Amino acid sequence: MGDQHSTVSVEETAAKIQAAAAVTVLCHVHPDADTMGSALALAIALHRAGTPVQVSFPEPHELPRSLELLPRRDLVVPPAALPDAAELLVVVDCSSADRLAGLSGQIAASDTTLVIDHHRTNTFFGDLHYVDADAQSTTVLITRVLDALGVEIDADIATCLYAGLVTDTGGLRWANPESLLLAARLLGTGINGAELLRGLMDTHPFAWLPMLGAVLGRAELEPAAACGLGLVHTVVLHTDVAGVAWEEIESVVDIVRTSAEAEVAVVLKEQGEQRWTVSMRSKGLINVAEVALKLGGGGHAAAAGYSATGTRDDVLAALRSVLG
Ligand SMILES: [Mn+2]
């Protein structure tokens, strides 16, 4: 296990990748566009350079519909098809080993685990870490690595990088200057950014609408919670989600967080009998990554999450006590 002393520069990261005879790239469980875009961008570059490379992610090994927009998914293999041990394991967009779920055993089995991530709550669980919490997406970091490797950013790689960049910046809503400059550079390769963004962020099956109706109808506002800054929360029950993929459920919090009266928005998603995953968003006054850390999870200052057990009221009570 590494620690902060195992931090490496972008040049050292590129050199390590260049020296590897074969590379396995792992994404986090329930992959999103940032983890998969990062993995595929790196894999496409390595494949082109003649380095054997494969991408995988933990079970359930089912790619969200929106990520079918990404190129070269033939580089993605199911966990069972991975070698037992990789010479170089690159883990992208994962703040902790548990985000690899059933694939976390790959860390101990590989010669070297290189973690590339932008979560402030990263636990430095590998051997080498290129972690920069000021980067707004892991694809920003992958771009720096590809530049250090002298890789040409073609349309396929640009599509993967752009997918992670736009989704992790809320469709560039909170993009910083580095992100916007990167967006301009990637669009300059000729990719259709509007079509990609619509497919990734603004497209849902019809079943999303009745699910939203039920879930938003039970939203509650607690003006006194979160130090008086206001908390809005709702619950996604198992019975709401028939015919709706988990990625559709992930989008609920982005609607709940628009409530003007609440600094913090929370969605409790029922995973089983008294088992929940909790998504949190803040508007900037409360650091929800710190809240999530205290409750066993992690994330970013404005977007974080954790797992919890108990009744809905137990989970909300524990959350209120941390939020203040
Ligand atoms: Mn990310």
**For 104-137, how does the pLDDT look when each residue is reduced to its tens digit (9 = 90+)?**
999 999 999 999 999 989 999 999 999 999 999 9
Which residues, at least 6 apart from 168, have a Cβ–Cβ distance to it below 8 Å?
33, 34, 136, 137, 138, 139
| 250 Cα–ligand 1 center, Å | 14
| 62 Cα–ligand 1 center, Å | 19
pLDDT tens, residue by residue, 190-201? 999 999 999 999
Mean of per-residue pLDDT scores for the chain: 95
- Per the CB < 8 A criterion, the answer to whether 112 and 87 are in contact is yes
Q: Which of 74-78, 222-226, 241-245, 250-254 has the lowest mean pLDDT?
A: 241-245
CB neighbours of residue 3 within 10 Å: 10
| 2 Cα–ligand 1 center, Å | 21
| 223 Cα–ligand 1 center, Å | 30
| 314 Cα–ligand 1 center, Å | 29
Amino acid identity of residue 219, one-letter, is A
The predicted model gives 46-52 an average pLDDT of 97
| 229 Cα–ligand 1 center, Å | 27
Q: What is the pLDDT of residue 3?
A: 60
Which of 37, 47, 46 is CA-nearest to residue 57? 37
pLDDT tens, residue by residue, 54-92? 999 999 999 999 999 999 999 999 999 999 889 999 999
| 137 Cα–ligand 1 center, Å | 5
| 322 Cα–ligand 1 center, Å | 25
| 28 Cα–ligand 1 center, Å | 10
| 118 Cα–ligand 1 center, Å | 7
Looking only at the bridges linking them, the beta strands covering 264-272 and 275-282 are antiparallel
Indicate the SS3 state at residue 308: strand
| 236 Cα–ligand 1 center, Å | 23
CA distance 248 to 173: 20
| 164 Cα–ligand 1 center, Å | 7
* pTM for the whole structure: 0.90
CA distance 140 to 137: 5
| 139 Cα–ligand 1 center, Å | 8
Structural domains present in the chain: 6-201 (3.90.1640.10), 208-323 (3.10.310.30)
| 42 Cα–ligand 1 center, Å | 15
| 313 Cα–ligand 1 center, Å | 30
Q: What is the pLDDT of residue 247?
A: 82
